[in-house]
Structure 1
Amino acid sequence: MMLTVLRLVLVSFIAACALPTSAAVVLLYHHVSDKTPKSTSISPAAFEAQMDYLQANHFTVVPLLELTEKLRKGEPLPDKTVAITFDDSYVSVYGSAFPRLQKRGWPFTFFVNTDAVGTGKVFVNWDQLREMAKAGVTIANHSSSHTHLPRREKNETLAQWRARIRAEINQAQQKIIDEIGSAPKVMAYPFGEYDHEVQRIAKQLGYIAFGQQSGVLYSEGDLQSVPRFPFGGSFSDLDDFILKVNSKAMPLKAVEFFDDQKNKTNSLIVRAGEKPWLVLTPNDPALLKKINCFATGQGAIPTQIMNNQLWAQANTPLTAGRTRYNCTAYSGEKGRFYWYTQQWLATDKQGNWTYRD
């Protein structure tokens, strides 16, 4: 009798360990070079070290389209699964990353802003992209001009802005089809910037869309704001990579935004000087006391627990530009943390965009 019970426990344990999870990590790079701007670059040596870690620790590297197809169908995603992506049409992807990943037999996706292709030594040309595509690389949409999609131009009406954003996406898609032969219905927002209206346009056009906010791709997430972990600049350290690639999706019932603790808002665009509240409702209230949140350039930020929700707000008012609230919690598995990131876009105090990247 005891032996039978032990066998049943063992079988149950093995089955539980084998069950797939509904999350995977998507990695984002720009330049892979020692000679390009440090803020958006990772050295070839550091990139190689990260890929070595994935291989030594038995991560499965799959095409991004495999993950997005599972998302569309609501299918589970196996644990320790990774997809690799690059943004911005940089030639170092062809010259440095491509041969390294090709040697390993690993797929990746290259999101290209099509107007830049073939325009100078910094960018790839279409012959190089065709060579990569023939080798199995997915060439995908990063808009045509790499503009800030949520930002309306001076004197531009809402209708004109919507038409321009649709054209940015459609023109890039058609150019890739014309040059490569096909283009998947996935896109990456330039600068990782989006708001709810940009998301609606992407959804209407049939795209799964990726940002640059840190986090884990999971089956219950928003298909028009899929997170990726960016690496480069100060985020090139191997220990940081190990922490992030082993992270898990924060199990949340709901994510809400408030101007203050009484007025709910749906806007991801705020004005400089404001301090928006991020409100998280976890599936398990026991997680509330474990969550810590941080804001760009501010470090740890205060949180409050009210009505089984976590309320997080920046320490100081936001300045014009991009700000992210990163919230993490220990998952109970050694070295693995739940991770959720929310991005805010701040105008000046009058509601005007005052900066360019």
Structure 2
Amino acid sequence: MNYLMRVMVAIIAYLALPASAAVVILYHHVSDTTPKSTSISPAAFEAQMDYLAQNNFTVVPLLELTEKLRKGEPLPDKTVAISFDDSYASVYESAFPRLKKRGWPFTFFVNTDAVGTGKIFVNWDQLREMAKAGATIANHSSSHTHLPRREGSESAAQWRDRITQDINNAQQKIKQEIGTAPMILAYPFGEYDVDVQRIAKKLGYIAFGQQSGALYGKGDLQSVPRFPFGGSFTALDDFILKVNTKPMPLTDVEFYGDNKQKQENLIVREGAKPWLALTLSDDSLLKKINCFATGQGAITTAVIDNKLWVQPNKPLGAGRTRYNCTAYAGEKGRFYWYTQQWLATDKQGNWTYRD
């Protein structure tokens, strides 16, 4: 290949990379007195909002980004949508006044059974007040159950009916109380598998997890990433790193068992070491990507047949594990980012609730 051809190939590869870098950020409690694992202090929240305001980020309604995703339109760079999960009162008490003062929109995903049930949760009058001020009130299921997990001897059909009804009940309640209910869904605990995604797609939702990453126009509309902030992830430097990320330029994502036998689902047994295989639009990134697993630090990567193969160093424990893969994006302080979630039952195939 002569020099001119190499230059042309490089240009084409560059143009194929996603130029956009819209990010959705996620909070639960905004309070100094709620459980630390899911909380950010009002002061830390304010500092993060100040960073966005002072560094030329545009805060837009989440629905604006989801419509662009649905239509396959380009996503604007340095754009952020703000979201909250779980119906917590601290969103109304601490976050809402701060965002209202700035004139910034946000989305509040509410599990409707909890609304109005105690001081820790918002009530419908508060949700209507926020909606009138420009907030979007959206579906987080009615019961806040782990959607992929079967109950006892429940059949697949019974499970599908239960989950479908749980999502439908929340949507109907939001429409009844607020007047409108957008077709967006946040999975409780951020947990989903292929079957949950199929239900969300059949019902017509764009659905969000809690796995990290920037939005990607070619990504799965039933596993849209968000960066969660709370607990040990509240430091401003961590926030700055994440809101400046770009989507990993992927063309394909595949899942394999320990023996590299291809599989479809994201549920494995405790003790498994499943492989993730990534195909990128820019092969030059393959050897530049570093991957990490929950509780394991850096994990195994290998480039085989122009794919990045990723496997944990240790067997997965029961519950949820995420693989995080990043690479320098060629701009100071900016990285490509992709996260994949796995769910593991115990060795007998039973669900545990250690998250």
- 1:253 counterpart letter in structure 2: T
Q: Aligned partners of 1:238, 1:193: CA distance in 2, in Å?
A: 26
Kept in 2, the 8 Å contact 1:30–1:40? The answer is yes
- 1:263 counterpart letter in structure 2: Q
Which residue does 1:245 correspond to in 2?
A: 243
Which residue does 1:206 correspond to in 2?
A: 204
Q: Aligned partners of 1:135, 1:51: CA distance in 2, in Å?
A: 18
The Cα shift of 1:260 comes to: 2.8
The Cα shift of 1:22 comes to: 3.7
Which residue does 2:194 correspond to in 1?
A: 196
List alignment gaps of at least 5 residues for structure 1.
1-15
Kept in 2, the 8 Å contact 1:62–1:106? The answer is yes
Q: Aligned partners of 2:354, 2:121: CA distance in 1, in Å?
A: 20
Q: Aligned partners of 1:73, 1:285: CA distance in 2, in Å?
A: 27
The Cα shift of 1:192 comes to: 0.2
1:120 aligns with one of 109, 118, 122: 118
Which residue does 1:300 correspond to in 2?
A: 298
Which residue does 1:40 correspond to in 2?
A: 38
Q: Provide the secondary structure at the position in 2 that maps to 1:255.
A: strand
Which residue does 1:8 correspond to in 2?
A: none
Q: Aligned partners of 1:259, 1:174: CA distance in 2, in Å?
A: 39
Q: Aligned partners of 1:262, 1:191: CA distance in 2, in Å?
A: 28
Which residue does 1:57 correspond to in 2?
A: 55
The Cα shift of 1:341 comes to: 0.1
The Cα shift of 1:284 comes to: 1.1
Which residue does 2:318 correspond to in 1?
A: 320
Which residue does 1:342 correspond to in 2?
A: 340
- 2:52 counterpart letter in structure 1: L
Q: Provide the secondary structure at the position in 2 that maps to 1:233.
A: coil
Q: TM-score, normalised by structure 1?
A: 0.94
Which residue does 1:102 correspond to in 2?
A: 100
Q: Provide the secondary structure at the position in 2 that maps to 1:253.
A: strand
Kept in 1, the 8 Å contact 2:21–2:245? The answer is no
Q: Percent identity?
A: 81
Q: Aligned partners of 2:164, 2:320: CA distance in 1, in Å?
A: 23
Residues matched between the structures, number: 341
2:169 aligns with one of 160, 168, 171: 171
Which residue does 1:13 correspond to in 2?
A: none
Q: Aligned partners of 2:171, 2:21: CA distance in 1, in Å?
A: 28
Q: Aligned partners of 1:135, 1:63: CA distance in 2, in Å?
A: 12
Q: Aligned partners of 2:354, 2:297: CA distance in 1, in Å?
A: 25
Q: Please say if 1:145 is aligned against 2:143.
A: yes
Q: TM-score, normalised by structure 2?
A: 0.94
> What does 1:75-114 align with in structure 2 at a 5 Å threshold?
75-114=73-112
The Cα shift of 1:253 comes to: 1.2
Kept in 2, the 8 Å contact 1:22–1:75? The answer is no
The Cα shift of 1:211 comes to: 0.1
Q: Aligned partners of 2:264, 2:26: CA distance in 1, in Å?
A: 27
List alignment gaps of at least 5 residues for structure 2.
1-13
The Cα shift of 1:276 comes to: 0.4
Q: Provide the secondary structure at the position in 1 that maps to 2:137.
A: strand
Kept in 2, the 8 Å contact 1:322–1:343? The answer is yes
Q: Aligned partners of 2:19, 2:82: CA distance in 1, in Å?
A: 19
Which residue does 2:266 correspond to in 1?
A: 268
- 2:225 counterpart letter in structure 1: P
Kept in 2, the 8 Å contact 1:23–1:76? The answer is no
Q: Aligned partners of 1:296, 1:151: CA distance in 2, in Å?
A: 20
> What does 1:4-19 align with in structure 2 at a 5 Å threshold?
none
Which residue does 1:7 correspond to in 2?
A: none
Q: Aligned partners of 2:230, 2:335: CA distance in 1, in Å?
A: 21
Q: Provide, for residues 28-61 of structure 1, a one-character-per-residue CA deviation record: whole Å limited to 9, x for no partner.
A: 0000000000000000000000000000001000
The Cα shift of 1:254 comes to: 0.8
Q: Provide, for residues 261-295 of structure 1, a one-character-per-residue CA deviation record: whole Å limited to 9, x for no partner.
A: 53111110011000001111111111011100000
Kept in 1, the 8 Å contact 2:258–2:272? The answer is no
Q: Aligned partners of 1:148, 1:191: CA distance in 2, in Å?
A: 7
Which residue does 1:24 correspond to in 2?
A: 22
Q: Aligned partners of 2:293, 2:334: CA distance in 1, in Å?
A: 21
Q: Please say if 1:258 is aligned against 2:217.
A: no
Q: Aligned partners of 2:331, 2:86: CA distance in 1, in Å?
A: 36
Q: Provide, for residues 168-215 of structure 1, a one-character-per-residue CA deviation record: whole Å limited to 9, x for no partner.
A: 100000000110001000010000000001000000000000000001
- 1:159 counterpart letter in structure 2: A
Which residue does 1:227 correspond to in 2?
A: 225
**Bigger Cα displacement from structure 2, 94-103 vs 259-268:** 259-268
Q: CA 1:128 to 1:198, structure 2 compared with 1: closer, same or farther past 3 Å?
A: same
C-alpha RMSD of matched pairs (Å): 1.5
Q: Please say if 1:186 is aligned against 2:189.
A: no
The Cα shift of 1:356 comes to: 5.7
Kept in 2, the 8 Å contact 1:291–1:327? The answer is yes
Which residue does 2:214 correspond to in 1?
A: 216
Q: Aligned partners of 2:352, 2:70: CA distance in 1, in Å?
A: 37
Q: Aligned partners of 1:21, 1:287: CA distance in 2, in Å?
A: 16
Kept in 1, the 8 Å contact 2:111–2:141? The answer is yes
